[in-house]
Amino acid sequence: MTVWAKDIITLMEEEFPLRLAESWDNSGLQIGSSDKQVGRILIALDLDSFVLKQAVKQQVDMIITHHPLFFKPIKNINYASPLGKMIKTLVSKDITVYAAHTNLDAAQKGLNQALAEKLELVNIEPLYPASREVLFKLVVYVPATHLEEVRAAICTAGAGNIGKYADCTFRARGTGTFRPGQNTNPFIGKTGELEEVDEFRLETIIYESDLKQVLDSIHQAHPYEEVAYDLYRLENEGRMFSPGRKGCLVEKTSLQDYAVRVKELLGVKSLRVVGDWESNIKNVAVISGSGASLMSRVINQNIDLLVTGDLKYHEAKDAEAAGLKVIDAGHQGTEAIVVPLLIDYLKPKLTNQNLDVELIPCTSPDCIKEIF
């Protein structure tokens, strides 16, 4: 079965939709065409000269990165510049490039969720409500003979999720009436005759991101050629998305002991730490990459420790003054797990859809060398 770049992009945006990206971000297609046929995909944190050499060597058709190749508009493409050289190589080798950045950070099963789990947090929640997903109420009228078939179909497609509960629906029995018109092929009744049918009003709730596939599932499972259904946009608060997570440790521990544990879990060579080594910590926030700009969101909550990267001197002083402990595990240190995250996400999706694509992990060497 032929696989196109747009098939891979669709899989990515099912879980990491572009609407979650920050306004300043440039997630999505970077170079190439979504109509490009793909058989080998390289997954990396960044697209740098090392990754590009590996991509050419491995003869890949597509590269998926966390950090976009282009953050800002470029005014020219100079083949003598580092970026220009990469663009020239990518175009000449016909390699499509796609990036999932802040949308991947904020997604429910995204990078920050993975980081929180990696650092052994429990009771994990979004750090703050950066955005919420719109909810819809769906009402569909189903003949009694097909009630369970339609109910199962819409729930399998994603309807009926409320908090930690799934398959949430309500049904009420009644009588449906309709008169088939000319050139119809009614499942029940005859053309031109008023029909009364034993039907159920089946109600459920749907997240906006699941709306299309749920409606498609109705038309596939429902026996009528014209399905009667209603959609209502709700004011209920939907799923929360946030570029960070908060949770707690199973047991209180000292900052020193947990810093050693973070170093082991992330596989980094060193850490920078703000706070008293002997102080106890329990409640922890994580913001992958460079998260100090969101420190005010952390300080206003009952959080003992922030794990992030790229901490600056004055940001460290602000944290110290507020009594917030910080572990700076580095930008790359907190985001390198994006490579196995994306492979673990895409591999079963590809298998389930019988898409024959090879996924190749690639990690660049640290660009910052440490001297002890």
Mean pLDDT (the chain) is: 95
Instruction: Please report, in angstroms and rounded to a whole number, the separation of the first and last CA atoms in the chain.
Output: 53
Over residues 5-43, the pLDDT tens digits come to 999 999 999 999 999 999 999 999 999 999 999 999 999
Q: How many CB atoms lie within 10 A of CB 203?
A: 18
* Beta bridge partners of residue 253, listed in sequence order: 281
Q: How would CATH label the architecture of 111-130+242-331?
A: 3-Layer(aba) Sandwich (3.40)
Overall residue count recorded for the chain in this entry: 372
Q: What pLDDT is attached to residue 218?
A: 97
pLDDT one-digit tens code per residue, 132-163: 889 999 999 999 999 999 999 999 999 999 98
Q: Is the pLDDT of residue 124 over 70?
A: yes
The tens digit of pLDDT for each residue in 70-81 reads 998 889 999 999
CATH topology of domain 134-233: Alpha-Beta Plaits (3.30.70)
Residue 138 contacts residue 203 (beta carbons within 8 Å): yes
pLDDT digits (tens, 9 = 90+) for 300-325: 899 999 999 999 999 999 999 999 99
Q: What's the count of helices (H) and strands (E) in the chain, helices before strands?
A: 12, 17
- pLDDT recorded at residue 88: 97
Banded pLDDT at 45 (limits 50, 70, 90)? very high
Residue ranges matching CATH 3.40.1390.30 in the chain: 5-104+337-361, 111-130+242-331
pLDDT category, 255, cuts 50, 70, 90?
Answer: very high
pLDDT of residue 232: 97
Question: Of residues 45 and 240, which shows the higher confidence score?
Answer: 45
Predicted local confidence at residue 366, as pLDDT: 81
Residue 196 and residue 175 in contact, taking contact as beta carbons nearer than 8 Å: yes
Q: What is the pLDDT of residue 372?
A: 66
Question: pLDDT tens, 171-205?
Answer: 999 999 999 999 999 999 999 999 999 999 999 99
Which residues of the chain does CATH 3.30.70.120 include? 134-233
- Is the pLDDT at 369 greater than 90, yes or no? no
Class of the CATH-defined domain 5-104+337-361: alpha beta
pLDDT mean over 280-299: 95
